[in-house]
Amino acid sequence: MFTIEQQITIDRPIPAVFAYIADPANIPRWRPEVLEVRGATGPLSPGATFGEVVNFMGRKTYTMRVADYQPERRLTIEALAGPGALPTQTFRFEPAGGGTSISIRAEVRTSGPFRLLEPLFPRMFRKLWAGYLVNLKAILERPRS
């Protein structure tokens, strides 16, 4: 198991940032490795499950569950099933001026052949999540027409 942490500030209010992240339909927009989300309709709620089809070292499907849901404060989504690397992602939302500071903590359990590759993963996942947060910032700060 390994853990990575990332943080970014987005110039949008917490309700808007939380709502965007808590809607699974948005996941493929800011996490390009997620090809599609299945079985989720509308914003998440405690205990909700959905599938993520991911292109990470090949195409894989993960079953995800909302483990913690505190509106506009914290959201934890954990992988219940899937091959190789099972993440638990915790998002924390805090005010930052007129914007939002988002902290992500991803704890990843590995198994099978992925366990052998685990020493390489922390650096790779830090880079991926830094990119995801930059994507979120660009999307959410884009001027609306």
Query: Cα-flanking dihedrals φ and ψ of residue 76, to 5°?
Result: -120, 125
Task: Give the other-Cβ count within 10 Å of 93's Cβ.
Answer: 21
Q: What is the pLDDT of residue 130?
A: 95
Q: What is the pLDDT of residue 103?
A: 97
Are 5 and 88 a contacting pair, CB within 8 Å? no
Which residue ranges make up each domain of the chain?
2-141
Q: What is the pLDDT of residue 17?
A: 97
- At residue 29, the 3 state secondary structure works out as helix
The Cα 112–Cα 114 span in angstroms is 5
CATH superfamily, region 2-141: START domain (3.30.530.20)
Q: Which residues contact 142 (CB under 8 A, 6 or more apart)?
A: none
Spell out, as residue ranges, where the chain has pLDDT lower than 70.
145
The Cα 24–Cα 32 span in angstroms is 13
Q: What is the pLDDT of residue 58?
A: 77
